[in-house]
C-alpha cells in the first residue's frame, strides 16, 4: 500500500545498534546503513510455484491450523484436500492453463481455498475488491476475459447482474457461490463473536442467482484435477490497479515475481511456522494477499481471519490466539486507541507490527511504544511491486518513513522531467528495479512501456510517487506525480470516480479532488456542474446517495460542491490541479 505524502522533515529513529550494519551495496546501488545484520542482503528464490508451497506445508503440518475463522480451524491437510477438489471442479467446467478466474469475496477461509484451487488448475487468480458495485464489476469480467467467478452469497447478485448486462459472448459461464457459514461453527464463543450486525451479515443466505453452483456441491463432487503443468514463469495473479486515466488495469504477476516477497517477508519480520498473524487487511489487496495468503502458507504458520475491521474483536482475538504478527492500516491502530477499553487490551504477544497505506502519526507511534512497548515498522509498495519494495528494519525503524529497499531491490530518486538521478536529500520520483516488479499491464503494451525507464542497463518501474532518500538510505514520500487520493489506505483514482459520476442523470460535468480528513487522511470531494433541468431540485446529498448505489463505498464523495462551471485550459481540459490547490489552501 502506498504511504501518504509526508513533509520532508527529519524523522525520529531508534538508535543504531550492533544489530544493523553499514555498507553500500554496489549491486543494487543502495546505501543501507540500517540493514539488519541478521539478514542476507540477497536471496536465492525457489524455482517453484505457489501451489508447491501449499503442498510442502500440508505434508509438513497436515493437522496444524492454517486458518482460524470465528473459532473454527482449517488445517493444512484439509486446505490441500479442498483446494484439489475445487481444482478438479474448475477443470471440469473447462478451466485450462492460463485462464483467468475471478475471486470476489471478503476475508474467509474459502478465499484461500479458492486461491490455491485456481493455482492447482494452472489458472490465474483475478482478485476483485468486494466493495465494487454492479456498474464497476463488468470491467473485471470483460477485460481479463474471465469465464468463471467464485464469490460469496452476499455478492452473488452483483456478479450475476453485471454479467447479464454484457453481450452474451462476454458473459460468465460459471458462478460458484459460498456462504461464510460454510467455514464457521454453528455456535460462537463470546471472545470470537463479532457485533450483531456483522454476525447477521455473515449468516445471511440469499437465494442463488439462476445457474449458480453452491460451494458444498462443487466440493462434494470429489473431482481430481489433472497433472499440474504450470512453471515459475507462468502468470499466477492478475490484480487490478487504477490509474490517472481510463479503467483499472491488470498487473501481470508470475510465480517468480511473487516469490521474492513471500520468501523475504518471513525473514524480515522474524516469522516462522510458529507465528500467528491477524488477517484483517483485505486479501483481495496485494498486501493482504501476501501477508494473509501467500507468506503464511509458505511458512506453515497460522492466520486468524477477520472479514471486517472491529476494534473490540481484534483486541480479543490478539489476546485469545496470542497473535504475534499484525500488518494493518494506521487508522486501525488509531481506532484501537479510541476504544474506552483500550487499556485493558492484552497486546503482549505481538512481536511484529507493521503497516502502510497511510502515514502513522508520530503521537500514535510513540504511544504504542510507551504503553505497549511495540515499534511500528512502516513499509511501502504497490500492486506493481507485489506489495513491499521498501520497509523499515524492526531493529531501527524511522517514523513516517518508507524504509529501505528490500532484498535485491535497486531504488533510486530521479528528476521526473529529465529522468536523471538527483542527490540524496533532493526530491524526485521514486523508481524501482527488483525481482518482484510485475511483467506489465494486461492488454496495455503502451501503458507498460510508459511505466518503465532504463538506467544503467536495468529496467526501473516509475512509481509516480515523489520522495527523497536521506544520507542513511531511508526513503521518504513527499508528494505524488499521479492524481490519486489516499483515503484510509485505499487508493481512489479521481478519473475512475468521474467516469462513474458521469452516469448520474443530474451531472453535466464533474471533477474529483482530495480534501483533508482528520481520521482518513484524505477524503473524496466532487466538484459538480449540474444539468440545467436538475439545478432546482438536486441537492449535494442526492449526489452522495446516488454514488453510494453505484460505486465502492471508499470512492463515494464525502463532500459535494456545486459550481456553475469548471476551470478549463485553452484546449478545453478541466484544470483539476487548480481546484485541488484551492482546496488545499482553504477549501472551495
- Report the pLDDT value the prediction gives residue 21, as an integer from 0 to 100: 52
C-beta atoms surrounding 177 within 10 Å: 27
pLDDT of 531 higher than 80: yes
Is there a domain that residue 21 lies in? no
Distance from C-alpha of 445 to C-alpha of 442, rounded to nearest angstrom? 8
- Give the list of residues 6+ apart from residue 85 with CB closer than 8 angstroms, or none: 117, 218, 219, 221, 222, 223, 224
Exposure string for 560-581, b = 16+ CB within 10 A, e = fewer: bbeeeebeeeeeeebebeebbe
Is there a domain that residue 505 lies in? yes
Q: The cell 487508493 sits on which residue?
A: 491
Mean pLDDT of 166-195: 97
**Residues 451-460 pLDDT 10s:** 999 999 999 9
**Residues 246-258 pLDDT 10s:** 789 999 999 999 9
Considering only residues 334 and 64, tell me which one the structure prediction assigns the higher pLDDT. Answer: 64
User: Which whole-number Å values give the CA distances from 79 to 68, 70, 349, 491, in the listed order?
Assistant: 12, 17, 26, 32
Is there a domain that residue 251 lies in? no
pLDDT above 90 coverage of the chain, percent: 76
524 has which bridge partners? Answer: 514
pLDDT of 496 higher than 90: no
Q: Which domain holds residue 569?
A: 485-584
3-state secondary structure of 560: strand
All three cell numbers of 278: 491477524
Is there a domain that residue 527 lies in? yes
74 has which bridge partners? Answer: 67
Q: What's the pTM value of the predicted model, to 2 decimals?
A: 0.86
- Return the ∠ at Cα 368 (arms to 367 and 372), rounded to 5°: 115
- Report the pLDDT value the prediction gives residue 585, as an integer from 0 to 100: 80
Handedness of CA 458, 424, 287, 272 (dihedral sign): positive
- Report the pLDDT value the prediction gives residue 181, as an integer from 0 to 100: 98
pLDDT above 70 coverage of the chain, percent: 93
All three cell numbers of 431: 523508481
Number of domains in the chain: 1
Q: What is the CA radius of gyration of the chain?
A: 23
Is there a domain that residue 339 lies in? no
**Residues 338-388 pLDDT 10s:** 888 888 889 999 999 999 877 788 888 888 888 888 899 999 999 999 999
**Residues 185-215 pLDDT 10s:** 999 999 999 999 999 999 999 999 999 999 9
Q: Tell me, what CATH number does 524's domain have?
A: 3.30.300.30
Closest residue by Cα to residue 289 from 503, 449, 50: 50
Is there a domain that residue 183 lies in? no
Mean pLDDT of 164-181: 98
Is there a domain that residue 315 lies in? no
Is residue 291 a contact partner of residue 268, using CB atoms and an 8 Å limit? no
pLDDT of 284 higher than 60: yes
pLDDT of 155 higher than 70: yes
Is there a domain that residue 102 lies in? no
Amino acid at each position: 500500500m502506498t504511504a501518504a505524502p509526508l513533509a520532508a522533515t527529519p524523522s525520529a529513529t531508534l538508535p543504531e545498534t550492533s544489530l544493523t550494519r553499514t555498507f553500500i551495496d554496489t549491486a543494487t546501488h543502495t546505501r543501507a546503513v540500517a540493514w539488519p545484520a541478521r539478514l542476507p542482503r540477497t536471496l536465492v528464490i525457489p524455482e517453484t510455484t505457489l501451489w508447491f508451497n501449499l503442498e510442502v506445508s500440508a505434508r509438513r503440518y497436515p493437522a496444524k491450523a492454517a486458518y482460524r475463522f470465528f473459532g473454527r480451524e482449517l488445517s493444512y491437510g484439509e486446505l490441500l484436500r479442498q483446494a484439489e477438489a475445487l481444482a478438479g471442479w474448475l477443470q471440469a467446467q473447462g478451466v485450462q492453463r492460463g485462464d483467468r478466474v475471478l475471486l470476489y469475496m471478503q476475508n474467509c477461509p474459502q478465499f484461500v481455498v479458492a486461491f490455491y484451487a485456481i493455482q492447482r488448475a494452472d489458472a490465474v487468480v483475478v482478485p476483485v475488491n468486494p466493495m465494487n458495485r454492479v456498474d464497476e464489476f463488468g470491467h473485471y469480467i470483460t477485460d481479463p476475459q474471465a469465464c468463471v467467478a467464485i464469490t460469496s452469497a452476499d455478492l452473488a447478485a452483483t456478479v450475476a447482474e453485471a454479467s447479464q448486462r454484457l453481450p452474451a459472448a462476454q458473459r460468465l459461464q460459471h458462478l460458484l457461490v459460498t456462504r461464510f457459514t460454510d467455514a464457521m461453527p454453528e455456535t460462537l464463543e463470546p471472545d470470537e463473536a463479532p457485533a450483531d450486525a456483522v454476525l447477521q451479515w455473515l449468516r445471511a443466505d440469499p437465494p442463488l442467482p439462476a445457474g449458480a453452483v453452491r460451494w458444498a456441491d462443487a466440493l462434494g463432487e470429489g473431482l481430481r484435477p489433472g497433472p499440474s503443468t504450470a512453471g515459475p514463469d507462468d502468470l499466477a495473479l492478475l490484480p487490478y490497479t487504477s490509474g490517472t486515466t481510463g479503467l483499472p488495469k491488470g498487473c501481470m504477476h508470475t510465480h517468480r515475481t511473487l516469490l521474492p516477497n513471500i520468501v523475504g517477508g518471513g525473514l524480515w519480520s522474524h516469522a516462522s511456522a510458529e507465528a500467528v498473524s491477524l488477517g484483517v487487511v483485505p486479501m483481495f489487496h496485494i498486501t493482504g494477499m501476501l501477508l494473509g495468503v501467500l507468506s503464511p502458507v509458505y511458512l506453515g504458520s497460522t492466520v486468524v481471519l477477520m472479514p471486517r475491521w472491529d476494534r473490540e474483536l481484534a483486541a480479543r482475538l490478539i489476546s485469545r490466539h496470542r497473535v504475534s504478527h499484525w500488518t494493518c492500516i494506521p487508522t486501525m491502530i488509531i481506532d484501537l486507541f479510541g476504544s474506552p477499553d483500550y487499556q485493558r487490551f492484552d497486546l503482549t504477544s505481538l512481536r511484529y507490527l507493521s503497516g502502510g497505506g497511510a502515514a502513522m502519526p508520530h503521537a500514535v507511534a510513540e504511544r504504542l511504544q510507551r504503553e505497549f512497548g511495540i515499534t511500528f515498522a512502516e513499509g511501502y509498495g504497490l500492486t506493481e511491486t507485489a506489495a513491499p519494495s521498501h520497509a523499515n528494519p524492526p531493529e531501527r525503524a524511522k517514523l513516517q518513513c518508507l524504509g529501505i529497499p528490500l532484498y535485491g531491490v535497486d531504488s533510486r530518486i530521479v528528476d521526473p522531467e529529465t529522468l536523471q538521478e538527483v542527490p540524496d536529500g533532493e526530491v524526485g520520483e521514486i523508481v524501482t528495479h527488483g525481482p518482484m516488479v510485475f511483467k506489465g499491464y494486461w492488454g496495455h503494451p503502451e501503458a507498460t512501456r510508459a511505466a518503465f525507464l532504463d538506467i544503467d542497463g536495468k529496467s526501473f518501474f516509475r512509481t509516480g510517487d515523489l520522495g527523497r532518500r536521506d544520507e542513511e538510505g531511508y526513503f521518504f514520500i513527499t508528494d505524488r506525480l499521479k492524481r490519486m487520493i489516499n483515503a484510509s489506505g485505499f487508493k481512489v483514482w479521481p478519473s475512475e470516480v468521474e467516469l462513474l459520476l458521469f452516469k448520474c442523470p443530474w451531472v453535466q460535468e464533474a471533477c474529483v479532488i482530495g480534501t483533508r480528513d482528520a481520521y482518513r487522511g484524505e477524503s473524496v470531494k466532487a466538484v459538480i456542474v449540474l444539468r440545467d433541468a436538475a439545478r432546482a431540485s438536486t441537492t449535494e446529498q442526492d449526489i452522495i446517495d446516488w454514488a453510494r448505489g453505484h460505486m465502492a463505498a471508499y470512492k463515494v464523495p464525502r463532500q459535494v460542491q456545486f459550481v456553475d462551471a469548471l476551470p478549463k485550459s485553452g484546449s478545453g481540459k478541466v484544470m483539476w490541479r487548480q481546484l485541488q490547490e484551492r482546496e488545499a489552501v482553504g477549501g472551495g
